C-alpha cells in the first residue's frame, strides 16, 4: 500500500466519522472498512400497499399503510490496499424492502460512479447517491406495492422504469419479477422470511423512528404554556395534539378519581380524541390505573346489550344473556334470575310489579308504540297492565275530587267534608248547652 493511498483512506474514514453519527457510520476494527446505514427521506404521505390475495377475484383487495420512514439500506465495504489509486472498494448492499433486482441495479450504478471518480475517494458520493437518488433512480412512487408471488417469494411492483434506469440496468429495475428472469448481483443481499414479517418490520421501524424524532423536538404545552422536549410530552394518536406529561398526569388522575374514565379525551376544546389505556398506564400510579381499568371495563359492559349484572348485592358480576332468553345464570354464585325484573327466575309467568313501579309502568305503557305495548303485556301480563291503568285513574280522580280526612287521611269528597264539619260543630254546641 502506497503512503498516498493509506493517507487518502484514513482521511476519508475520518471525514465520514465526522459527518455521520454512530448509527449511520461505523468504522471496522480489524480491517480498513466499515458499515454505513442510509436512511432515505420519503415524500410526505408515502404509502405502501399490500395485496390481501393474488386471486383474480380479490385483485383489488389489500391493505394500505402510510409511513414516514423505511428501514435503512446497509452498505458494508472494505478498502483494498491500492484504493483509491487503482481498485474500487469491495462492498455488499442490503435492503429488506428492495428486491434483489433493484439492489443489483444500485450495485451497478455504484460501479459506474467509481468509474467516474476513479483515482479519488468515492464512498461519500456513493452514500449521497443512495440517500438522495435511490427512489428516483428505481422509479419508486407512492403507493409502493408489495405482494406474495409464486413459491412464497416476496415481489415488488413499481411503476415502469425511467429512461435513465433502463440504460443502466437493461430495463429490469421497475418491472414485475413474474414477467422476467431476474439477474442478481452477488453483492446484492436481500433477506426476507415472509411478506408478513417484512410488513411488520417496516411498521415497527417506522413507529420507532417517529418516536425518536418526536422525543428530540420541542413542543409548547397548551396547559402550562411551557416548551418541553418531546421525551417529556405525550400526543393523542388521532388528533396529534401535544401536552406535557406532568399536566396530563394531573388531568388523568382527577378524571379517574371522579370515575370519569370515558372522559380522558384531549384537553383541546371540541376535540374528541381519547387517550389509549397504554398512555394512561404510562402516566398514573398502578393503583389508580387498576381503578381506571376496572371502571373502563364496567362502562364498556354497560353499553353491551347482551350483558346484565347479577342482582345479588354481594355479587354484581356481569352475566352474558342468551339471545331471546330472559333467564340469566351467574357463573360465580349460580343464581338464576329473570333478566327483565332482576328477581328469581319465574319461567313463563309474568314479572311481578311492585306498587311503587305501577306509576312508571303505566307511563311507559301509555307512551309506547304498538310493538312495545305487546312486549310489556307479555312481560307483565295484560291484567297487571290493566290494573296499573285503573289504579292510576282512581288515584288521579281522588286527587282531583277529594281531600284527605284530617284524622285518618282517608280520601273524602269535599261536600262530605263540609257536612262532617258542620255536624261536629252542632254536636259540640249541644253538648255545651247541656253543661
Please state, in angstroms and rounded to a whole number, the distance separating the CA atoms of residues 211 and 264: 22
Determine phi and psi for 110, rounding to 5 degrees: -65, -35
In sequence order, the 6+-apart residues with CB closer than 8 A to the CB of 398 are 411
**Measuring CA to CA, which residue among 230, 175, 212 is closest to residue 39?**
212
Please state, in angstroms and rounded to a whole number, the distance separating the CA atoms of residues 221 and 216: 15
Please state, in angstroms and rounded to a whole number, the distance separating the CA atoms of residues 278 and 275: 8
Q: Which one-letter DSSP state was computed for residue 344?
A: B
Please state, in angstroms and rounded to a whole number, the distance separating the CA atoms of residues 388 and 3: 109
Please state, in angstroms and rounded to a whole number, the distance separating the CA atoms of residues 89 and 125: 13
What b/e sequence results for 17-33 when a residue is b if at least 16 CB atoms lie within 10 Å of its CB, and e otherwise?
Answer: eeebeeebbeeeeeebb
In sequence order, the 6+-apart residues with CB closer than 8 A to the CB of 328 are 308, 310, 319, 321, 336, 337, 338, 339, 345
**Measuring CA to CA, which residue among 338, 294, 293 is closest to residue 319?**
338
Cα dihedral 258→262→266→272 (10° resolution): -140
Q: Which of 213, 271, 333, 418 is catalytic?
A: 418
Cβ–Cβ under 8 Å, residues 251 and 245: no
What is the number of residues in the chain?
Answer: 435
For strand 90-94 and strand 188-189, is the pairing parallel, antiparallel, or unpaired?
parallel
3-state SS class at 190: coil
DSSP string of 150-171, one letter each residue = GGG-EEEE-PPPPHHHHHHHTT
**Residue 26 β-bridge partners:** 35
Cβ–Cβ under 8 Å, residues 117 and 123: no
Tell me, yes or no, if 418 is annotated catalytic. Answer: yes
In sequence order, the 6+-apart residues with CB closer than 8 A to the CB of 105 are 137, 138, 165, 168, 169, 172, 173
For residue 190, give the C-alpha cell.
436481500
Residues with catalytic roles: 418
Amino acid at each position: 500500500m502506497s503512503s498516498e493511498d493509506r493517507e487518502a483512506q484514513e482521511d476519508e474514514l475520518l471525514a465520514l466519522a465526522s459527518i455521520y453519527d454512530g448509527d449511520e457510520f461505523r468504522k471496522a476494527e480489524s480491517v480498513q472498512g466499515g458499515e454505513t446505514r442510509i436512511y432515505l427521506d420519503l415524500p410526505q404521505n408515502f404509502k405502501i400497499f399490500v395485496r390481501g390475495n393474488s386471486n383474480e377475484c380479490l385483485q383489488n383487495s389489500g391493505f394500505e399503510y402510510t409511513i414516514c420512514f423505511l428501514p435503512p439500506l446497509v452498505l458494508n465495504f472494505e478498502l483494498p490496499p491500492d484504493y483509491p489509486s487503482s481498485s474500487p472498494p469491495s462492498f455488499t448492499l442490503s435492503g429488506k424492502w428492495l428486491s434483489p433486482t433493484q439492489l443489483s441495479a444500485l450495485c451497478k450504478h455504484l460501479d459506474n460512479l467509481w468509474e467516474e471518480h476513479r483515482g479519488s475517494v468515492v464512498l461519500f458520493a456513493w452514500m449521497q447517491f443512495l440517500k438522495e437518488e435511490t427512489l428516483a433512480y428505481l422509479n419508486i412512487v407512492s403507493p409502493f406495492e408489495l405482494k406474495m408471488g409464486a413459491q412464497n417469494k416476496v415481489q415488488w411492483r413499481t411503476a415502469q422504469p425511467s429512461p435513465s434506469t433502463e440504460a443502466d440496468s437493461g430495463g429490469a429495475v421497475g418491472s414485475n419479477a413474474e414477467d422476467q428472469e431476474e439477474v442478481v448481483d452477488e453483492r446484492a443481499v436481500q433477506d426476507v422470511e415472509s411478506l408478513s414479517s417484512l410488513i411488520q418490520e417496516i411498521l415497527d421501524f417506522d413507529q420507532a423512528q417517529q418516536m425518536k424524532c418526536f422525543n428530540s423536538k420541542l413542543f409548547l404545552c397548551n396547559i402550562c404554556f411551557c416548551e418541553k422536549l418531546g421525551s417529556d410530552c405525550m400526543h393523542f394518536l388521532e388528533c396529534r395534539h401535544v401536552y406535557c406529561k406532568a399536566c396530563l398526569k394531573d388531568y388523568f388522575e382527577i378524571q379517574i378519581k371522579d370515575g370519569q374514565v370515558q372522559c380522558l379525551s384531549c384537553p383541546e376544546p371540541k376535540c374528541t380524541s381519547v387517550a389509549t389505556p397504554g398512555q394512561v398506564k404510562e402516566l398514573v400510579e398502578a393503583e389508580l390505573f387498576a381503578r381506571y381499568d376496572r371502571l373502563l371495563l364496567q362502562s364498556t359492559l354497560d353499553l353491551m346489550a347482551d350483558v346484565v349484572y347479577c342482582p345479588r348485592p354481594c355479587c354484581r358480576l356481569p352475566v352474558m344473556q342468551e339471545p331471546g332468553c330472559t333467564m340469566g345464570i351467574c357463573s360465580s354464585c349460580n343464581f338464576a334470575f329473570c333478566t327483565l325484573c332482576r328477581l328469581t327466575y319465574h319461567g313463563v309467568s309474568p314479572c311481578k310489579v311492585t306498587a311503587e313501579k305501577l306509576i312508571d309502568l303505566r307511563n311507559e305503557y301509555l307512551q309506547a308504540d304498538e310493538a312495545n305495548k305487546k312486549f310489556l303485556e307479555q312481560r307483565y301480563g295484560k291484567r297487571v297492565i290493566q290494573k296499573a291503568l285503573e289504579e292510576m285513574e282512581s288515584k288521579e280522580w281522588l286527587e282531583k275530587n277529594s281531600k284527605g280526612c284530617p284524622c285518618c287521611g282517608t280520601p273524602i269528597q269535599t261536600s262530605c267534608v263540609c257536612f262532617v264539619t258542620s255536624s261536629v260543630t252542632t254536636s259540640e254546641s249541644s253538648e255545651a248547652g247541656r253543661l
